[in-house]
Amino acid sequence: MQPLGVDEPTVVGPYRLLGRLGSGGMGRVYLGRSAGGRTVAVKIVHPHFALDEEFRARFRREVEAARRVGGAWTAPVLDADPEAPVPWVATAYAAGPSLTAAVADTGALPGHTVRVLGAGLAEALTAVHELGLVHRDVKPSNVLLTVDGPLLIDFGIARATDGTASLTSTGVSIGSPGYMAPEQILGKGVTGAADVFSLGAVLAYAATGQQPFPGDSSAALLYKVVHEEPELGPLDGELREVVEACLNKDPAARPTPGELARRLAPQGAARLVADGWLPGVLVERVGRSAVQVLNLEATDGGLGDRPSGPVGFSSPAIGEFGPPPTMPPVAVPEPRDAEPVTRSPGKLSVSVAATSAPGDGGRGRRMSCTVALAVASALAAVTVGSVFVFDLLPDNSPNDSAGSDSDSSYSQAPGASASATAAPDALTAYLGTWEGQGVALDGNLPLGAFRLTVHRAQVGQELGRLRQTDVLGGVCNDVLTLKSVTAKRLVATSVGAKSNHKGCNPAATTVTLTPVGDDLDYASDSEESGNPTSRLSRIE
């Protein structure tokens, strides 16, 4: 568990957060505690999902369905808020490492441990399938190893994401490369048999310490799952037979979870767990983890018995979903009419500088991006490649003269030399480097830090660059082309840089800069981004 970062929430609904447990494709997981002292795991989804109304509707339905799952080998869903600015779900907390962490630390698990693991997960899937549900994302990181047996976690989010408008546009299914069933990859429909395939891949990983379908990229993993046989290494005996049956390419030929449970543990998984199922090194680790959680202290901060509701974030950003960007400390002046706030490197900023050279090679997600998972990127690379065509041609549309004065408006006359660089008086006020915090959805969704650089330019020429460091820790760069400028307003076209990765939004948008005292008000007309705005202060 990691301590909370300065930009991460300390309270979500009725839960005070104590630390960060991990992160994944859907969001970040925190350790939380209720006012009554119950310890829970709180998962906050990635912020870009908050812009997708279809995701919210599916999330609401799937969380309600997940509440009904009450098998012995699952972590029950206790609470959720699909209507929060960034949706979240809380489940019972279990002290114990994920299967991913356990194998990474200790290597392949003993045969007896793998047998109990398979029996427990098979019984969990039996309970899930009997309710008419399919988990869709059974993988090592969604399996916890506790003294009381294995637990299958992460209901309600993976299923809610599958089929949302933002993701189906890529034509891919949701899951984890290497653990998805062939029919899931090919989009042929997902049934409980897909979970059985994933379970087989999980057991192979636990028994050998290696993925059964190894590869250097998501595309290679997906190809091997569909077309090649698994690599099971030294796995032999009954466990090998079970894994091979689960990994059959034909869904109809795979055993049911109930059949697997009876084969691995005829008298039930609980009997095997009671006799001791984890190796000593993992038992010791689980014990240390439990003591660490018990020693954590948190006050209720006046929460009392307040019910779940919209998340009240304690800082402008909801947290870092991934490693923070590497950025030097920058002293960011606050807007002149705002209360001073201490800021730290890595927050979302917009800057426009007269001499700085923004890094087009920055990697990350744009605030407006609709980010598909690794599998989506892999399939996109296979099907359509990674080349985007951007409209970077000068904008020859008539100048927007709203609010302009005849002696201060500026546009490039036809035939004017492209080498002319002397800026009119109206543009001078916008030159420099600017930074500020961004928000969207009428201020309800924190976006992070904007860094904007503006240099001298003619209409139709490159005006500057916008570097966006979002709350996920990702970076995207936009190229701004000047459309019109007056003393009261500057209008530019903003287009994603060619060097951006696929998670960045390539669509052209119109941005407006409006002087307010010594600051600039930034506004974008991008509805898909939630119409971002920011108050920017000059730093150079």
Residue 49 sits at the vertex; the CA angle it makes with 447 and 60, to the nearest 5 degrees, is 135
Q: Which residue matches tokens 């200790």?
A: 106
- Alpha-carbon span 452 to 437, nearest angstrom: 12
- Alpha-carbon span 52 to 161, nearest angstrom: 10
Q: Please answer whether residues 91 and 139 qualify as being in contact, where contact means their C-beta atoms are separated by less than 8 angstroms.
A: no
For the chain, what is the radius of gyration of the CA atoms?
Answer: 26
- Alpha-carbon span 343 to 451, nearest angstrom: 14
- Alpha-carbon span 91 to 39, nearest angstrom: 9
Q: Which residue matches tokens 């060619």?
A: 498
The identity of residue 441, as a single letter, is: L
- Alpha-carbon span 64 to 61, nearest angstrom: 5
Residue 448 sits at the vertex; the CA angle it makes with 4 and 497, to the nearest 5 degrees, is 130
Neighbours of 19 (CB within 10 A): 16
Residue 478 pairs with which residues in a beta bridge? Answer: 466, 496
Q: Please answer whether residues 329 and 345 qualify as being in contact, where contact means their C-beta atoms are separated by less than 8 angstroms.
A: yes
The identity of residue 428, as a single letter, is: T
**CA distances (Å), 385 to each of 219, 377, 516, in order?**
12, 10, 44
- How far, in whole angstroms, is CA 339 from its chain's centroid? 31
Residue 186 sits at the vertex; the CA angle it makes with 183 and 190, to the nearest 5 degrees, is 40
Q: Which residue matches tokens 């010791």?
A: 284
3-state secondary structure 452-491: EEECCCCCCCEEEEEEEEECCCCEEEEEEEEEEECCCCEE
- Alpha-carbon span 58 to 159, nearest angstrom: 8
By the 10 Å C-beta count (0-12 exposed, 13-18 middle, 19+ buried), 390 is classed as middle
- Alpha-carbon span 231 to 178, nearest angstrom: 12
Structure tokens at 246: 């689960």
The active-site residue, picked from 7, 52, 137, 395, is: 137
- Alpha-carbon span 27 to 263, nearest angstrom: 36
236 catalytic per annotation: no
Residue ranges for the known binding site are 43
Q: Please answer whether residues 32 and 90 qualify as being in contact, where contact means their C-beta atoms are separated by less than 8 angstroms.
A: yes
- Alpha-carbon span 226 to 175, nearest angstrom: 14
Residue 216 pairs with which residues in a beta bridge? Answer: none
- Residues annotated as part of the active site: 137
